[in-house]
Amino acid sequence: MKTLLRRLAIPALLAPLALGTGATPSGAMSLSLSDDHVRWSGHRDPADARFAITTEDGKVTLLLTDHVVAVQLSERMVHKVRRELRDKREDQEDNALGMAIASAVIGTVEHLIDDSFVCCVSDLRDVSYDHGRLRFTARNGESVFEDADVCDTDVMASFSERDARSFVREFRRLKGRD
């Protein structure tokens, strides 16, 4: 059940941003991730990370700290979603029911965009770059972050090769395997 909630929470709440217009806002996205090694955590400032890379489309940032690897919406995407939420709230000001629905959805989405998915570095055996994507392996051999998707795009295949290989080197340096 915990895995299912992670997979559904963001898509289910971001989809209604159109608030009855039938349109999907340009910044709408879904983030699905299922993994027993991954948990929700607060949004992390990339400036405080040991190392951070952002997908080539600018939607997601992968951070490495001394203790965790985090996958979260990029700062740019968080600002874009907040701007669209504000616009949607303003669009509903003349409609009491629309405003009530907008407030409920927007409040929840605003909370979720400030979160990240994290995995403890100590739970990871290795990170590699293989066939155009980052691969995280847990100590027990299981794949981690294997199904991290944004807008049906494989996040781990969305980093430039140079950035991905740099992330691998920094992870291995942290783990003492450089």
Closest CA to 35 of 71, 3, 72, 70: 3
Query: Strand, coil or helix: what is 119?
Result: strand
Place of tokens 């450089």: 178
pLDDT digits (tens, 9 = 90+) for 6-32: 443 444 344 444 433 333 344 434 445
**Can you give the pLDDT at residue 146?**
85
In the chain, the percentage of residues whose pLDDT exceeds 90 is 38
In the chain, the percentage of residues whose pLDDT exceeds 70 is 63
Specify whether the CB–CB gap between 116 and 44 falls below 8 A: yes
Strand partners, 136: 127, 144
Query: Where does the pLDDT of residue 93 fall: very low under 50, low under 70, confident under 90, or very high at 90 and above?
Result: low
128 against 76, higher pLDDT? 128
- Report whether pLDDT(91) > 50: yes
C-alpha 66: how far from chain center: 19
Q: What is the pTM of this model?
A: 0.73
Specify whether the CB–CB gap between 42 and 115 falls below 8 A: yes
**Can you give the pLDDT at residue 48?**
93
The average confidence (pLDDT) of the chain is 76
Measuring CA to CA, how many Å separate 149 from each of 6, 13, 121, 160, 175?
12, 16, 21, 16, 26
**Can you give the pLDDT at residue 41?**
84
Q: What are phi and psi of 129, to 5 degrees?
A: -120, 115
Place of tokens 């929840």: 108
